[in-house]
Structure 1
Amino acid sequence: MRYINDDLKDKTILITGGAGFIGSNLAFYFQNNHPEANIIILDSFRSGKTLSNGNLKSFGHFKNLIGFRGEVISGDINDKDLLLNLELNYKFDYIFHEAAISDTTALEQDLMIKTNVNAYKDLLEIAIKHNANMIYASSAATYGNALSPQIVGRESPQNVYGFSKLCMDNLSKEYMKKSNIAIVGLRYFNVYGPREYFKNTTASMILQFGHQILAGKNPRLFENSDKILRDFIYIEDVIQANIKAMHPKESGIYNVGTGRARSFQDIVDILQKELDTTLKCEYIKNPFIGSYQFHTEADISSTKEKLGYEPGFEMEDGIKAYVDEIKRVYAQEVKK
């Protein structure tokens, strides 16, 4: 679906983190709907480097970009020489900043702040020099254990990742006061959909439960999973929010969710219906009680008003749209 009628002929769009989940979906949105635009992808791509928790430092994967015809640059946003090259040798009209250390369990506070906050400031400076509108990934992790519905202005991050995203938001607010470009921060809630597989263990529970079921395993849920609720949002609605943020009525920080909380039990029940299975659920004790969000629900009133955003996918719709891709990934990546 095409979300704007703008003529993007000869416009140059930079997507950082473009080999990741959301970035690659953005790249294909523009390629399919605005083939006259010039799309530049910057991503550090994965290597063998890991964080202290054992997870990969970068989740970017070339397979997310198979079929992409634009320019691809491999590089780290912390590299000052790379950023200078981008500033001097390109002229961007829009910057979609998705690159980040996005692992909420990462312990490297120094790397998190350097990558998520300091490098973002450098990119903001490029955006201002190029007169390019900036759309960047914030996160619902800024809210921590705040009561639902989560409302911008009521943040209480519980990990360094959420703190780093709140720092980005605070920095953005200062730049909004002194620059003429549009700056929009999008606080993503629980996103799921195609091209998330290479996030490994941080991929959505929709994908992970789907693969459990396809393997014939009983879905394993925490006890009382019908009472653990999240605002799950399908990738297509996240793309819609990003595209509509290109020309907002007002710069700002906006929630990107459905505005409706659904349970983990709902996920399994809908998947079993779509996959035509009747496996028995197994319930295990939740070891994260006390450090676990039991309810998230985005207040999207300002997102609707200022961006013209309107979520189009209930969980049933999103899983139905996603299920063939869940099967394909299982056959081609998991079972191989």
Structure 2
Amino acid sequence: MKRLLVTGGAGFIGSNFVHYWIDNYPEDTVIVLDALTYAGNIENLNPVKDNPSFKFYQGDICDSVLVEALLKEHQIDTLVHFAAESHVDRSISGPDAFIQTNIIGTHSLLKAAKKIWLDEGVNKETHRFHHVSTDEVYGTLEPEDPAFCESTPYAPNSPYAASKAASDHLVRAYHHTYGLRVTTSNCSNNYGPYHFPEKLIPLVVTNILRDLPLPIYGDGKQIRDWLYVEDHARGIDLVIKKGRLGDCYNIGGVNEWANIDIVHFICELMNNLFIENPKFADKYPQAISAIAGKSQELITYVQDRVGHDRRYAINPKKSSSELGYMPLESFETGIRKTLRWYLKNDSWWGAVMDGSYRKWIEKQYSSSRQG
């Protein structure tokens, strides 16, 4: 029976991991620590809030006193570290928050874990610090380049990617220097329920439902490997169970798509959903283009992001051969599940899109729109 501390557990990937873990290991204890900044949402944890195995604390991962107290009070043996600033656009306009959370915050957690687990000997031989990272630390790929593997040299190209690369190195250093029992996973682009609507897929879906432009950076031919979020949670589970201490594991979807192709695919699916289910037109009367079967006419090309990486791709061969990992969802099945979730949960994304974030995102795209 494990006792987990999940940092950033009210965010997109973190909350999905919490749902997955409680569903699959109901005998375990799951403690969530989240600062509830703009991308953290306590509503993401509603499905588990009444579960006796779950407890939530609002707090900062830089608060070492709080983290140490949680590790001791709850006899934590497994720390799963999701908490991070993760939006590349925001890292370009305001990198300081990324340095603070992703580097200083990760180091603060490592110090707390070392103090409680190693210096004080609580769960000294059984603890695990699992660090969740990204494929963006590897940089960019040309169209014919092989996919990233765990030995690919780091070459981060944005402040976000650089901050995550730095945190990866700190986790490695605490294993090799102090003997902290760590593992790291680097994932490709996630999608699924509770995805914050600044990211491509939820932004496209929610904008179609409000008949707003679908902003596409540059020519839209940037390629990403897409991973359904529950497949990611399963991959982390396998790393925690079977991963070699001190090692890194790539978790990917084996599913490369160009951004513009994703947008066209979502438009086609949304058009069909509105044609097949007239009730959606009643629920979303603003979705004029989707109701008419013309969502693709909302596509709007905008100025490309500064330093935009052209292609990411993950080779999960090591995770497959050592851990038995393979994604269960294809993009087609995963995206259909995602669309159904957003159509059903308009109260969730409607609340998220209100207020300061909505004003920020509209300012970003209106200032760079090319017609």
TM-score w.r.t. the length of structure 2 is 0.75
Q: Pairwise mapping of residues 84-163 of structure 1 onto structure 2 (< 5 A)?
A: 84-104=68-88, 105-106=90-91, 107-128=93-114, 129=117, 130-131=123-124, 132-147=127-142, 148=145, 149-152=147-150, 153-163=152-162
Which residue pairs with 2:286 in the alignment?
none
Q: Residue deviations 1:225-271, cap 9 Å, x none?
A: 3x332111111111111111112342322222223311223323332
* Closer/same/farther in 2, CA of residues 212 and 110 from structure 1, 3 Å limit: closer
Higher helix share: 2
Which residue pairs with 1:312 in the alignment?
328
Query: How far apart, CA to CA, are the structure 1 residues paired with 2:68 and 2:323?
Result: 32
Give the residue type in structure 2 aligned to 1:229.
Answer: I
Aligned pair partner of 2:28 in 37, 41, 45: 37
Structure 2 residue 8 is the aligned partner of structure 1 residue 17: yes
Which residue pairs with 1:327 in the alignment?
343
* Closer/same/farther in 2, CA of residues 266 and 37 from structure 1, 3 Å limit: same
Unaligned runs of 5+ in 2: 118-122, 273-289, 355-371
Which residue pairs with 2:308 in the alignment?
292
> 3-state DSSP class of the match of 1:262?
strand
* Closer/same/farther in 2, CA of residues 19 and 218 from structure 1, 3 Å limit: closer
> 3-state DSSP class of the match of 1:67?
helix
Once the two structures are TM-superposed, the CA of residue 285 in structure 1 deviates from its matched residue by 4.3
* Closer/same/farther in 2, CA of residues 230 and 74 from structure 1, 3 Å limit: same
> 3-state DSSP class of the match of 2:194?
coil
Query: How far apart, CA to CA, are the structure 2 residues paired with 1:33 and 1:181?
Result: 27
* Closer/same/farther in 2, CA of residues 86 and 222 from structure 1, 3 Å limit: closer
Query: How far apart, CA to CA, are the structure 2 residues paired with 1:188 and 1:64?
Result: 21
Say what the alpha-carbon RMSD is for the aligned residues.
Answer: 2.6
Which residue pairs with 2:209 in the alignment?
214
Give the residue type in structure 2 aligned to 1:299.
Answer: N
| Percent identity of equivalent pairs | 24
Q: Is the 8 A contact 1:220 1:281 kept in 2?
A: no
Structure 2 residue 44 is the aligned partner of structure 1 residue 67: no
Aligned pair partner of 1:229 in 220, 223, 231: 223
Query: How far apart, CA to CA, are the structure 1 residues paired with 2:169 and 2:194?
Result: 30
Aligned pair partner of 2:251 in 238, 251, 256: 256
Aligned pair partner of 2:232 in 238, 244, 248: 238
Structure 2 residue 150 is the aligned partner of structure 1 residue 164: no
Q: Bigger CA drift: 256-265 or 237-246?
A: 256-265
Which residue pairs with 1:271 in the alignment?
266
Once the two structures are TM-superposed, the CA of residue 151 in structure 1 deviates from its matched residue by 3.0
Q: Which has the larger radius of gyration?
A: 2
Q: Residue deviations 1:28-50, cap 9 Å, x none?
A: 1122121111110101113xxxx
Unaligned runs of 5+ in 1: 1-7, 47-55
Q: Alignment length, in residue pairs?
A: 311
* Closer/same/farther in 2, CA of residues 259 and 37 from structure 1, 3 Å limit: same
